[in-house]
Structure formats: structure tokens, C-alpha cells
Amino acid sequence: MKIDVLVAEIGSTTTVVNAFHNLDSSNPIFLGQGQGVTSVEEGDVTIGLREAMEDLKKMLGIHELEYGRFLATSSAAGGLRMTVHGLVHDMTVKASREAALGAGAIIRQVTSGRLKPSDLRKIGEIRPNIIMIAGGLDHGERDTALYNAQKIAELGLDVPVIYAGNTDNAEDIREIFSGYKGKLYLTENVYPKVDVLNVEPARKIIQEVFEEHIIHAKGMDKVHDLVRGRILPTPGAVMESAKVLKEVLGDLMIIDVGGATTDVHSVTRGCEEINRILISPEPEAKRTVEGDLGVYVNRRNLVERIGAEKLKNELDLSEIDIENLPPIPKNQLEREIIRRLTAEAVSASVLRHAGSVRNLYGESSGRKSVAEGKDLTEVKYIIGTGGALTRIEEMDRILMDIHLESRGQRLYPKKEAKVLLDHDYLLASLGVLSLEYKEAAVMLMLKSLHFDEREGAIDVPMH
């Protein structure tokens, strides 16, 4: 049998390969998944990729993998390093950050106003994969973005530059970068009007840049030889799934607990009452990445948050048990450690993602309530994905208890929000698949989530 599509997800600790068939039919099939250990440190990620493909062949009971397409997502070796340079921190800089994070980038530097010599030195030290320049409402302030563009061009880097600022600057930006070694991308303004975010066009450009220019890890060039289609950053692929599922299920959030990071994606406009008192606008689709909250690479940070002695007493552990924790747990004790670390990662990441209401007091106006950050109160579904949440039993309880963490006036999901798990661990792969097989991807998402269609009519979005 010739499989329609293979999709590899090359993560920081594990690599999986998923096989899909009958994608052009009304009954798409997920055939199975192979798994391997990501082999960044061996200098070639294809070692782990081929291990996952061998595992898939054993699972399917076949000797050769014949397939039509091979797509991939990757978050190996820390993701997409990016610097963002705007005009006003709470306006264009914030909008640029939202576009970058939603596409799967890791923000290494953010500046507002004119770039200082120290800012320019730091850009050189970071060696970013992408530089984004923004600033100025459309038909508004022009000079800051032009000044920053000139200074960045003078650095002589061979780095893709995205301009997403005042559209009146387009011709001048092209002229400034006319002799630049890297490629220039011009897209729509991320902050075209006051209180208006326009991040989707920039997100799409960032993903295109990733595919054209970025090799995440040692050996990723060899992955391009295998892949017959798109390679997306894994967080960007999960965001694609989140946006597609929003069309079907309504407001939702996806929590992706990985070995190196914990990412939270939410797709919701929030409630009107909160929107009226927001200090600054929030995008409908928002992602936060917590680079210190991975359950394997960054487990020490989670252990410190819990308290090493407390964790040892809770689970009757030794220091050796924590130190020797493998990327894929093999026994019950290791699964218990991962479960506890995952609970801490979920708690901390949702706290950082969610907004809150606070009260301001003035002598003449009295008390005034204002909201900051993302309003999650309208979220209907909390979805868990990633190896930690989907490969160990009873992890849905962690997500069910999220509302209990909402203290004070934090804008958390309500207790009525329902929990779904990505049982087949497919959301990243189905995100990249949805770009070409949207109907099939949605049906496979709902199957993986064990979604009960009796809860309501399901309209699968068409191309």
C-alpha cells in the first residue's frame, strides 16, 4: 500500500512520524505513528527521524514505506531566533511580537524607538534568523522605522528582514535594502490604526521565511532531501490547528507541554465587558512560549518552582531519579515525575498567558477597573497536546483543574470549559496537513480529540 502523506514532527526531545491515508475521501485515516529520540546532539536529526520511520514500519507490519508526500514540522534546537524593532512598546512592538510568537518564533530582542548602538551590538551577538521592523500607524509617523531600517541594513548581515510598519514607507524601505545581502519581505502593517492589530499577514510571511531560509538544527538540511512539501515550525503548526478548530468548536485554547518549552495557544475574542476596559488590544489568536518550562530539557526549572525537597517527599524520590529522567519515561516512577512536572508547567504557563482585571483609584474619578492581557473567560474547550499530556494516563485531570488556579481577578477559563486531549498526538502534524487537506485534517483532529459530535452540529470548513 502506498501511503498518501507522512508528516514528521521533529521536537526538542522526541521525533514522531505520522502516516495518513485516504485524505481526499470522506473517511481520512490515521494509520499510525512511529517514535524516535531526537538526535540533535549527534549532529544529524535524520538519525532520530529514521529511527521513528523504522518504528512506524514495525507498527504497520511492513518492510518498506511507500508514500506520496512527506511534510514536516520542527522545533529542534530552540526554534526560530528573531528580533523585533518597533516604535511604541505597547503598540507596534506588541503587535510585532504577537505575529512572531504566533508563527513559532522565539523572541530574543525587542526594542522600541530608535535603535541605540547597544541595541545594534546585541543584534550582532544574537545572530537572529529573522529581523522584523515595524512602527507607525498607516499614514502616520515614518522616521523611526526608516532610521532603524537604515541602521540594520548597515550591519551587513545576511538575514531575512520583514518590514511590517507604516505602508507609506514601502518605497523608501525597498531603496534602503536595495544592496542588502539578505532577502527583504514587505507585508501589511501589524498596527495600521489605533487599537487595531493585524498580525496574520506577518505570521504567514514569518512561516514562509522559515521554510525558505531556516535550518533549525544540525542535519536539517538532510531533512529537506526527504521532505516533499512544507516544513513549518511546530508551534506555528499547532496554531494552524487551533485556528481551524476554532471554526468548528468555538473559542478554545491549546496547551502544548514539551521537553523544552510549554506553549499556550488561545483563539478567542473574549467577552465584550472585558474588551471595553482593555488597556491595549489583544489578538484573537495568541501564543505564548515559556522557554523555561520544558519537562525534560528544562526540568530543573520546574523542580525549583515546586521545591526539590517537596517533590522528593511527594513522590519518594532521590536526586538520581530526577537527574537520570529519560526523554521518554519507561516506568511508573518516571511517569509520576513527568506528571508532577507537567502540572507545574501547565499552572505556570496559563498564569503567564491569561490576563487580569485590576482596579485604579483616582481622587476625582474614584475606582476604575481596567483589564490587561488575554481574556480566556469565553473559552469553551481546553485542549491538551504534546508528549507529556498525551502519552501518560489521566493527564486530563490537570487541565480540568485549571479554573481552580484562577485567583483574584484573573481572566481564566470558567469551570464549565470542557477538556479534550489530543489522544493520537497529532495536532502539530494536522496543522501542517490542514494547509493542503483542510477537511481531512479537521476530521482527523476531531477523531484524535475523541470529540462527541452529539454535543452539537459540526460544520467542517471547506477549502
Cα separation, 458 vs 463, in Å, equals: 16
Q: Do domains 3-77+217-226 and 235-424 have the same CATH topology?
A: yes
Nearest to 421 by CA among 454, 441, 459, 391: 391
Q: At what angle do helices 234-249 and 438-448 cross, to 10 degrees?
A: 80
Domain topology for 235-424: Nucleotidyltransferase; domain 5 (3.30.420)
Those residues of the chain that have pLDDT short of 50 are 214-217, 454, 463
Please state, in angstroms and rounded to a whole number, the distance separating the CA atoms of residues 139 and 192. 9
Note the Cα 389 to chain centre separation in Å. Answer: 16
Q: Where are the domains positioned within the chain?
A: 3-77+217-226, 80-213, 235-424
Residue 154: per-residue pLDDT? 95
Which strands make up the sheet holding 184-186, listed edge to edge? 105-112, 80-86, 130-133, 161-163, 184-186
Sheet bearing 285-290, strands edge to edge: 285-290, 262-267, 252-257, 381-385, 418-421
Query: Whole-prediction pTM value?
Result: 0.78
Position 454 scores a pLDDT of 47
Nearest alpha-carbon partner for 371 in 407, 318, 409: 409
Name the grid cell of 204. 504567514
Q: Which three cell numbers stand for residue 449?
A: 480529540
Residues near 221 by beta carbon (within 8 Å), at least 6 away in sequence:
215
Domain 3-77+217-226 is in which class?
Answer: alpha beta
Measured distance CA(292)–CA(118) in Å, rounded: 26
pLDDT at 215: 46
Superfamily name and number for 80-213: Cobalamin-binding domain (3.40.50.280)
Tally of helices (H runs) and strands (E runs) in the chain: 17, 17
pLDDT tens track for 333-361: 999 999 999 999 999 999 989 999 988 87
Per-residue pLDDT, 462: 53
